[in-house]
Amino acid sequence: MSGFTPLLFAYVFTAVFLAGIVRGATGFGFSMIMIVLLTLFFPPAQVAPVILFWEVLASIGHLPFVYKQVHWKSLRWLALGVALGTPFGVYCLVSIPVDAMRLIINAVVLILTSMLYCGLRPKNAPTPPQTTGVGLLAGVINGASANGGPPIILFFLSSPLGAAVGRASLIAFFLFTDVWASLFYWQQGLISLDTIIFTLVFMVPMFGGMWFGNRWFSTVDEARFRKVVLALLMIISVVGLVKAL
C-alpha cells in the first residue's frame, strides 16, 4: 500500500478497531464511521470498495449467529429497492469530483444520523412500496459511498420488531447490499490489488473490535450506547464537512 506513513497506518488501525466495536455491539455504524474518517485522507472512490469488503467479511462472520432472528419479509422489499438504486449510486461515485463527493457523503451522514439521534419514527408501519423506497434510497447511498446504512437503520429502529431482530436483520441486509454494490465497483474498475491488500491488512483490528462489541451487546445500555455513537458520528461528519468546504 503506497502512501501509508506510520502515523496514518496507526490512525486507520485505530479507526477500524473502534468502528468494529460499534459494529459488533449494534449491528450497524461501521460504514458510517469509516467513510467519514477515511475520506479525511483518501479519495472516496479509493476507500468505498475497501469498506464494502470489510462489511462483507464482517457480515459473513456475524450472520451465522443471528440468522434465526432475521426478519426476512422486510428484507425482500428492501433488497428490491437496493437492487434498483445501487447502479445509479455507483455512477455518482465515479462521475462526481472528489471534493464534491466528500461534501455530499458527510452531509448525508450528518442529516440521517441527526434524524436517528432525535428518534424520528414514522406514525404507521411502512407498506411494501414504502419499504422498497427506503431500499432504493439506501442503494443509491451505498453505491455512492458504501454507506447505505442510515435509511435502513432508521427503518428498523422505528419498527416494533425489537433490538435483537433489528440487529440481525441489519447484518443480513448489509451482506446483500455490499456484495451487490461490489459487483458494480468491479465493473467500474474501482477494485484493484491495492484494494485487496488494504482490506486484508486491517482485518485484524476489525474482527478484534467486533469481538469486543459482541461481548458488550448483552451488558451495555443499548439505547444510551446508540446515542453516544450517533453523537460521535455527527461530530465527525461536521469535521468532514468543514474539511470538504
Q: Confidence class of residue 2 from pLDDT cuts 50, 70 and 90?
A: low
Positive or negative, the CA dihedral 25, 61, 57, 139 is negative
Cell of residue 10, nine digits: 496507526
Q: Confidence class of residue 81 from pLDDT cuts 50, 70 and 90?
A: very high
Tell me the mean pLDDT in the region 70-81.
Answer: 88
Tell me the mean pLDDT in the region 66-79.
Answer: 86
Q: What is the pLDDT of residues 204-244, one digit of tens each?
A: 999 999 888 888 766 667 677 667 767 877 877 787 787 77
Residue 134 near residue 68 (C-beta atoms within 8 A) = no
Q: What is the pLDDT of residues 97-136, one digit of tens each?
A: 877 877 887 787 788 778 777 876 666 667 888 889 988 9
Per-chain mean pLDDT for the chain: 82
Angle at 67 between CA 65 and CA 70, to 5 degrees: 130
Is the model more confident about 26 or about 130? Answer: 130
Helices within 118-221 (DSSP H only): 128-145, 149-157, 163-187, 193-201, 203-217
159 pLDDT higher than 80: no
Residue 67 pLDDT: 82
Residue 112 pLDDT: 76
- The DSSP line for 6-34 is HHHHHHHHHHHHHHHHHHHHHS--HHHHH
Residue 201 pLDDT: 92
- Predicted structure pTM score: 0.71
- Integer Cα distance of 13 and 19 in angstroms: 10
Least confident piece of the model among 15-24, 66-75, 137-146, 155-164: 155-164
187 pLDDT higher than 90: no
All structural domains of the chain with their residue ranges: 6-244
Tell me the mean pLDDT in the region 41-49.
Answer: 87
CB-CB neighbours of 144 under 10 Å? 28
